[in-house]
Amino acid sequence: MALLEVKNLSIFFQGLKAVHDVSFEIAEGEIVGMIGPNGAGKTTIFNLLTNVYEPTEGEIFVEGKSTLGQPAYKMVDMGLARTFQNIRLFKDMSVIDNVKVGFHHKGRYSIAEAVFRLPPYWREEQLYEERAEEILDIFGMGDMANLPARNLPYGAQRKLEICRAIASGPKLLLLDEPACGMNASETQELMDTIRLVKDRFHTSVLLIEHDMNLVMGICERLIVLNYGQVLAQGDPEEVRNNPEVIRAYLGSEGDPNALGC
Amino acid sequence: MDKAIRKNILKKYSLNIVLLLLGFILIQSLIVTGVLNSYAKQMIILVFINMILTLSLNMATGFLGELCLGHAGFMAIGAYTAAIFTKNMPMLPPGLAFFIGILLGMIMSGVFGFLIGVPAFRLEGDYLAIITLAFGQIISIFIRSLPFTGGALGLSGIKRMTNFPWVYGAFVFTLVFIICLMFSGHGRAILSVREDSIAASSSGVNVVKYKVITFVFSAMLAGLAGALYAHFQGNLVPTKFDYNYSIDIMVMVVFGGMGSMTGSILAAIILTLVPALLQGLAQYRMLLYALMLILMMIFRPDGVFGRKELTYDWIRQTYRKIRGRWKEDA
Ligand SMILES: Nc1ncnc2c1ncn2[C@@H]1O[C@H](COP(=O)(O)OP(=O)(O)O)[C@@H](O)[C@H]1O
Ligand SMILES: [Mg+2]
């Protein structure tokens, strides 16, 4: 059984078919890239996967369970965590507290236990502290733990978003243009980190990028979107040589790499 | 494990406990020895009641980030509930009746907070300001027209139970409650909702639940302040709890810095004492108030403290900085 199964997913915004009849699967342990020009519907698919939007048609299954009707905050319980194309951090909270929010859904101690500082509070908080430090260290951000998130440089903010997502212990990590705004060496480092994340935390990764070359190195499989539909999917070589993909990328829209993110 | 925890608690909190005890002993001894006259005593009690109010409003507005314009309404519910209870329970020992009255006042305020919070927060968009504004008005109309609240004339003959130990105890309770709540996973969830509710919900935080919970706590603490106020004043008039009072409390929170407990406490002290000391200049009071707020908006739009707190770490660092500069000069 696939980890993620997307079946005939569609969403229409006032007649605009932002996502139209999209189906794909992701197996456990895979790193899959989702590419396509700006406006192709990639971010909208993430919003559908995390139940921020309700699909007009179609259904999503995580480990065989339908996600239909689940509130957005329950999606982490089902094993999905994400980052955002326009970074969304808790800017006035410390870096380590940002990560700790990722543990929230596993939190067991009650408000009363917190207020009276009973043993469950201490035990859990100590565990969170250790685990959060561990995650930050893996991303090379251990020395930034107590800074307010807003003071981080851009690249570190992107990484912190991934840390927070990892903290929730996802089976599938959804990354929306994580390399956006990074230079070549930062991007290379990020790709290495993503591979590390996959091995260390045993998560599958679905990675949005509109730069095709970038994902070639890291993804085992690619899904190409255009105008809300799947244009092609398969291993990177196959996709690269697919004439329709070449046309979409080199067609009237010009070079997609020239577009901002 | 549990032994280590106990040691941890002692290490972490012993200084705070000592400071809180010292504060109590200091003020209480000034009162007992008669250094403070009865006017000063009353002002102190009023300051503490206002500190509880600002701390509670700061929870909803500063920590949760929701604008609440009807805080005096929750205070009124606490005040009237507690007063009606103690007035009708003369057979209970006064201290016990007062204590139960306070609890009932808090519960009643909390119930109203829940009834307002659930619909307001389930709607998408910022409806809380409008709903709480309406709520504050409606409550004062209800109080004026209900048979058991004394109507427009007010409720009098409430036993004056609120003395310094009571308000100090209530203040410490409020402070400790908020600090222990905010420095926990639940507190982080509340802050995350303020910072970015979309990111919070996709990190697994039930946004509506935390908004309602925080708002209910905020209302309950306002009810606590109300119950204390009723038994301080001895009588209640509905006009006390109108829109203006809600705005007064909001001004204090904004002045101190939304999201700073230190700021809320300091603002409650200053903005309670200064107008009282300027009583002789009563006709200029509103003018000075307005002037101060305008200067504030220009020079410190985030309030005196912004979102910062006065902590031991801050004191230690500042001390080091000052000492360092001193040595350089020498
Ligand atoms: N909430 C919305 N309301 C209306 N249109 C939307 C909404 N979200 C996305 N769209 C439209 O859907 C299309 C796909 O957008 P998006 O998924 O953000 O593309 P991208 O592949 O660049 O991430 C765009 O035309 C966008 O304008
Ligand atoms: Mg996008």
Q: For residue B82, how far is the Cα from the chain centroid?
A: 17
Of B85, B140, B127, the C-alpha closest to B107 is B85
Reported as a pLDDT band with limits 50, 70 and 90, residue B311 is confident
CA–CA distance from A209 to each of A166, A187, B199, B324 (Å)? 19, 12, 20, 50
Is the Cβ atom of A43 under 6 angstroms away from ligand 1? yes
Q: Which amino acid residue places its CA nearest to atom 9 of ligand 1?
A: A44
> How far B286 CA lies from chain A's nearest CA (Å)?
34
In this structure, the dihedral spanned by the alpha carbons of residues B313, B319, B321 and B325, taken in order and rounded to 10 degrees, is 180
Q: Which positions in chain B touch A168 (Cβ < 8 Å)? A: 203-204
Note the pTM of the prediction, 2 decimals: 0.93
Rounded CA separation B329/A145 (Å):
34
Point out the residue among B186, B196, B259 whose CB comes nearest to the CB of A111: B186
Tens digit of pLDDT for each residue in A58-92? Answer: 999 999 999 999 999 999 999 999 999 999 999 99
DSSP-derived 3-state class of residue A205: strand
Cβ atoms of B99 and B228 within 8 Å: the answer is: no
Domain range for B177: 3-329
Cα-Cα-Cα-Cα dihedral sign, residues B267, B268, B269, B271: positive
Which residues, in sequence order, are bridge partners of residue A174?
A: A82, A206
Share of chain A above pLDDT 90, in %: 74
Q: Which positions in chain B touch A124 (Cβ < 8 Å)? A: 185
For chain A, say whether B3 makes contact (Cβ under 8 Å): no
Rounded CA separation B305/A142 (Å):
28
Can you give the residue ranges of every domain in chain A?
4-92+169-259
Tens digit of pLDDT for each residue in B105-122? Answer: 999 999 999 999 999 998
Contact yes or no for A114 and B198 at CB 8 A: no
Reported as a pLDDT band with limits 50, 70 and 90, residue A196 is confident
Point out the residue among B1, B9, B200 whose CB comes nearest to the CB of A117: B9
Reported as a pLDDT band with limits 50, 70 and 90, residue B316 is confident
Fold entry, domain A4-92+169-259: Rossmann fold (3.40.50)
The ipTM, to two decimals, is: 0.93
Of A178, A180, A181, A174, the C-alpha closest to A192 is A178
Rounded CA separation B20/A151 (Å):
34
Is the Cβ atom of A98 under 6 angstroms away from ligand 1? no
Cβ atoms of A105 and A76 within 8 Å: the answer is: yes
Q: Which is it for strands A172-176 and A80-82: parallel, antiparallel or unpaired? A: parallel
Give residue A212's pLDDT. Answer: 67
Residue A240 has pLDDT above 90, yes or no: no
Average pLDDT over residues B193-220: 97
Which CATH number fits the domain that encloses residue B130?
Answer: 1.10.3470
From the number of C-beta atoms within 10 Å of its C-beta (0-12, 13-18, 19+), residue B277 rates as exposed
For chain B, what is the domain count? 1
Tens digit of pLDDT for each residue in B8-18? Answer: 777 777 888 88
Q: Which positions in chain A touch B2 (Cβ < 8 Å)? A: 119
Query: Which H or E run includes A14?
Result: none
Give residue A261's pLDDT. Answer: 56
Is the Cβ atom of A256 under 6 angstroms away from ligand 1? no
Cβ atoms of B48 and B58 within 8 Å: the answer is: no
Give residue B113's pLDDT. Answer: 97
Tens digit of pLDDT for each residue in A84-97? Answer: 999 999 999 999 99
Place of tokens 């002037």: B291
Given ligand 1 and candidates A44, A82, A176, A224, which is best to mutate, with the most ligand atoms within 8 Å of its CB? A44
